[in-house]
Amino acid sequence: MAVQVTESDQIKQFKEFLGTYNKVTENCFMDCVKDFTNREVKPEESSCSESCLQKYLKMTQRISMRFQEYHIQQNEALAAKAGWRSHPTLDGSLLHHPRKNTGLQHSPQYQHTDSMYGRSTLPEK
């Protein structure tokens, strides 16, 4: 299911991005640039600014990864409550199979191979 992003949502996201960009730029500038007696940016100011930005980007990436891990755990917990189980696939994603026998699993058109183990997931007859 594709999610439609409206123009107003895109504008809102862009404004949030610009606000974040401006805030990071201001913080790094205030922390790193100390000498205003010269037009040139000193090498230590430049390296400080780069380090500041890298730190921010790494922090943002780490928070994003933790957020994704949290949502995966929550989804797995909900799936366990609903009676679903997960199988890892070759690319690391999860393939979900219902625990209850719906009859569809035994139909040849629904048979597939568990790519991680190279075997059919259907019981042998």
pLDDT level of residue 32 (50, 70, 90 thresholds): very high
In this predicted structure, the answer to whether residue 37 has a pLDDT above a threshold of 50 is: yes
Of residues 58 and 4, which shows the higher confidence score? 58
pLDDT tens by residue, 75-124: 998 888 887 655 555 555 555 555 444 444 444 444 444 444 444 444 44
Q: Name the pairing type of β-strands 84-88 and 94-98.
A: antiparallel
Residue (of 74, 61, 114) closest to 91 by Cα position: 114
What pLDDT was estimated at residue 82?
Answer: 82
Residue (of 87, 86, 89, 68) closest to 78 by Cα position: 86
Task: Out of 1-5, 34-38, 61-65, pick the least confident.
Answer: 1-5
As a whole number, mean pLDDT of residues 65-83 equals: 90
pTM: 0.51
**Could you tell me what percent of the chain has a pLDDT over 70?**
64
What pLDDT was estimated at residue 89?
Answer: 55
